[in-house]
Every structure is written in C-alpha cells, then in structure tokens.
Amino acid sequence: MSAVADTMNTPARSGGSRLATFAIRLGALAMFVLIMLYFAVTAPGFLSAFNIVNVIEQSAILGVLAFGVAVVIIGGGSDVQTGGIDLSIAANAGLCAAVYALMTNAGYDQLLAVAATFATGMAIGCLNAFAVVWLRILPLLATLAAMNIAAGLELTITENTVVGTTSPLLTLLAGGRFLDISALAWVLILFALLSALVIHRTPVGVRLYAVGGHPEAARAAGLGTARYVAGTYIFSGFCAAFASILIVSRLSASTPGTGELLLSVLAAALLGTVFSRRFIPTIGGTLLAVIFIGFLANGFQLLSISSYWVSGVQGALILLVVAVTTFARPQEH
C-alpha cells in the first residue's frame, strides 16, 4: 500500500506543466467568479439568501448524480476515451424513479419500494461493471448500451407516461426544513460531506485513486483493481437510485425525460476535474462545479434567457474541459 501512495505522491510533472495546470485551474475559478459577478449585477435577486438556498436545493439531484460519475472517473481513470465514465446514470435514475412511483402507487410498503428502487439502480451498476471489468468493453460503449437498456425498460413499465405519486417520504423531502434550510439542500450538503469523508479520508479512497491513476502500481501492491472499478459502477447505480427518489419528491411524479439530465451531469463531473488538482476529480471540485452549473441555469432563468442556451453552454463546457485536459495530461509524465 505504501508503494502505491509513494507513486501517487511522486512529483512527475515538469515545472512548466505544473504552471500550466495552475493557470488552467486559476482561469476556471476566475471564469466562475466573473460569471457570478455578472449575474449579481444584472439578475435581480441573484445574491439573495432565498435564491442561494433555492439554487442549492435545485442542485441536489445534479450533485448526487455528479458524485456518482466522479467516483467512476476516479476509479477508472480520467482519460475521456478509455477511462471511467457512466453514460447510463441519468437513464438509470429515470428507471429507478419509475420503479419507486409504480410500487408506491401499487400500495407496497415504503421500505420495500425504496429497497426495490436501490436494487434496480445497483443492478444497472452491476451490468456496467460486468461489461467494463469482465467483458472489457470500453466504458463509453458499455454504459451507452446500459443507458439504452435502462431507458427502454423505463418506457416499457410506464408506457411512456408520467406516473404521479405521493408518500410521507416524498412529502418530507419536498417540504421538510431544518434550521430554515430545505430537506433537499441538506441532502446535498450531507451527501457531499459523507462522500468527501470516504473518498478523501479513508484507505478506500486512497486505493481508489491509486487504481484509477496508477493501475499497474496498484496491482503490484496487491490491490484487486477489478473489484474497485466494479465497485465504482455499483456506487454510481446507488447514486442513480438515490437521485431518483429526490426527482420524484421534487416533481411528485416519475417522468420519461430524466435522461436529459445526462448533459448537466457530465458537465459537472468533467468540470470538477478542472477545479481539482492534477485534473483528477475530487468531491469538493465536483460540488463546486455542480453549484456553478446551478447558478448558471438560475442566472439565465432570472434574466429570462431561454433554457436552450444553458444546454449550449454546458456542451461548450464539456468540449472545453475535454480539450484542456487532453492537452495538459500528456505533459504529466
């Protein structure tokens, strides 16, 4: 284990590469600050306490999903072509939401409905793990296939209709408050803290970074790399199931359009690599990216700018992040 830690902490980049990386991170943070300042000046009520809490609440679903993808990237490597990625997570969340809504409407006990929801999400995660780890299919292709399987199953069981539902759990999540902060905002805060604790303060997190960043060294140190990579996809499925209940609580229904969240999730997870050190995701960097995207969408809404522009900006961010990290990464050796 010490050999892996030494490998991870060995400075492998030149001074010029470190300077370039610092400049990119500084530029990303500067862009974040400038956009926030622009909205603060032009968008009425943008910096009000109510609006800030509202953005955090609206970002809960995106945050939970983005953390799932971030962990997959950490364990599978951050190369966008061959590294870890989960394109199925948004469709998986839609399928899980449908399972929860249908079981609740059918009168099943809430514990059973929640258990079935998480079992569904983690089953899709296991499918991804099997395809990536044991069948050795590229994560992009494997999770793309799983995305279509999940989306097809959702449309089949819901017959492509909105499934409205209600339950005490949904009521608590939608309207509960503590210290004048909504339950959904608390979900994002607590889930981020718990994820950060596990990923950055436990041996599991250290080993996960080793597996993703230095797989050969991890294997030499005796780590079961396949087990860790498979675990990241199962965790991503867990996040999809968790987010699905938040989605149903916010909309009071399961809706077929959940897959459209994928662009925002990928933008947050990939942008989180720029806000993090060495272009490797961290929970803190991903959370900052989630909040940034939340404020971006909120600012556009306050200025009455079409939501289509938000999707365009998110797509541009993905292209920019991929281009920047691809350019910078070869210099790290």
User: How buried is 311 (Cβ within 10 angstroms: 0-12 exposed, 13-18 middle, 19+ buried)?
Assistant: middle
pLDDT at 20 over 90: no
Residues 31-41 have a mean pLDDT of 85
Separation CA 30–CA 49 (nearest Å): 23
- Mutual orientation of helices 49-58 and 283-302 as an angle, nearest 10°? 120
pLDDT, residue 115, reads 97
Q: Which residue has the higher pLDDT, 148 or 56?
A: 148
- Tokens standing for residue 198: 């596990």
User: How buried is 170 (Cβ within 10 angstroms: 0-12 exposed, 13-18 middle, 19+ buried)?
Assistant: buried
Strand partners, 309: none
Separation CA 197–CA 97 (nearest Å): 28
- Mutual orientation of helices 15-42 and 307-328 as an angle, nearest 10°? 170
Task: Using alpha carbons, select from 265, 229, 230 the residue that is nearest to residue 247.
Answer: 265
Q: Which residue has the higher pLDDT, 310 or 72?
A: 72
Separation CA 74–CA 277 (nearest Å): 12
Q: Which residue has the higher pLDDT, 215 or 116?
A: 116
Residue 3 binned pLDDT confidence (cut-offs 50, 70, 90):
very low
- Tokens standing for residue 83: 């590294």
Report which residue type is found at 34: L
Output the 3-class SS for the chain.
CHHHHHHHHCCCCCHHHHHHHHHHHHHHHHHHHHHHHHHHHHCCCCCCHHHHHHHHHHCHHHHHHHHHHHHHHHHHCCCCCCCCCCCCHHHHHHHHHHHHHHHHHCCCCHHHHHHHHHHHHHHHHHHHHHHHHHCCCCHHHHHHHHHHHHHHHHHHHHCCCCEECCCHHHHHHHHCEECCEEHHHHHHHHHHHHHHHHHHHCHHHHHHHHHHHCHHHHHHCCCCHHHHHHHHHHHHHHHHHHHHHHHHHHHCEECHHHHHHHHHHHHHHHHHHHCCHHHCCCHHHHHHHHHHHHHHHHHHHHCCCCHHHHHHHHHHHHHHHHHHHHHHHHHHC
Residues 100-139: tens digit of each pLDDT: 999 999 989 999 999 999 999 999 999 999 999 999 999 9
pLDDT at 320 over 60: yes
Report which residue type is found at 198: V
pLDDT at 231 over 60: yes
The residue assigned the tokens 């061959």 is 82
- Mutual orientation of helices 139-158 and 110-129 as an angle, nearest 10°? 150
- Tokens standing for residue 299: 């600012």
Residues 246-293: tens digit of each pLDDT: 999 998 898 888 888 898 899 889 888 887 767 788 999 899 989 988
* Cα–chain center distance at 179: 27
